[in-house]
């Protein structure tokens, strides 16, 4: 038996093939990623010389993603002075309107990127949303989770405290 899978089509054209890397695991080097946030200067993380970054990959249609936003802001306030940078990358397709409206309503002060081509997903092997990564200053993944970190945040906070030297 031969199974043939068709590519998704848009406007009668085949979608280009995507190259998705396997999911990042603790200890792996996070690929370098740079982008322009909705409001602010360009950011970059991953690779050598990376700032300590808590990366959250999300979308406005993902309920648990949206529920995490307030906690991401609390983490920013609690650990920013110790060197932690919080970055949220939306993989919503289309225009930035929904992403901008949601972020404005939240009043969040951390960097938010709208990656409408979901470049981060293929680079980091994102297999589900939300996906969260703690990337060390050496560019290595110190902790990661696919799914809501709100259900069990103790391991995430332990990794952040260890990376920042916070008690």
Q: Is 103 among the domain residues?
A: yes
pLDDT for 32-85, tens place per residue?
Answer: 999 999 988 999 999 888 899 999 999 999 999 999 999 999 999 999 999 999
- Is residue 14 one of the residues assigned to a domain? no
Structural domain includes residue 67:
yes
Cα separation, 16 vs 37, in Å, equals: 26
Domain assignment present for 3: no
pLDDT tens by residue, 98-119: 999 999 999 999 999 999 999 9
Read off the pTM.
Answer: 0.87
Residue 8 reports pLDDT greater than 50: no
Range of the domain at 90: 20-164
In a domain? residue 12: no
pLDDT-based confidence at residue 20 (cuts at 50, 70, 90) = low
The reply to whether 1 falls in a domain is no
**CATH number for 36:** 3.40.30.10
Q: Please check whether residue 49 lies inside any domain of the structure.
A: yes
- Strands in the chain per DSSP E: 9-10, 13-14, 33-35, 43-45, 53-58, 85-90, 111-114, 131-135, 141-146
Q: What angle do CA 111, 142, 119 make, to 5 degrees?
A: 50
């Amino acid at each position: 038996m031969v199974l043939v899978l068709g590519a998704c089509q848009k406007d009668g054209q085949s979608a280009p093939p995507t190259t998705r890397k396997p999911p990042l695991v603790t200890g792996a080097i996070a690929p370098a990623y740079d982008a322009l946030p909705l409001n602010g200067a360009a950011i970059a993380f991953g690779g050598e010389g990376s700032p300590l970054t808590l990366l959250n990959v999300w979308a406005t249609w993902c309920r648990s993603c949206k529920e995490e936003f307030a906690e991401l802001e609390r983490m920013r306030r609690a650990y920013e002075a110790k060197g932690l940078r919080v970055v949220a990358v939306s993989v919503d397709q289309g225009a930035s309107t929904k992403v901008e409206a949601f972020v404005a309503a939240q009043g969040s002060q951390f960097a938010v990127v709208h990656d409408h081509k979901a470049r981060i997903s293929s680079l980091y092997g994102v297999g589900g949303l939300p996906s969260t990564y703690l990337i060390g200053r050496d560019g290595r993944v110190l902790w990661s989770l696919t799914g809501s970190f709100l259900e069990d945040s103790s391991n995430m906070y332990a990794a952040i405290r260890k990376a920042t030297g916070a008690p």
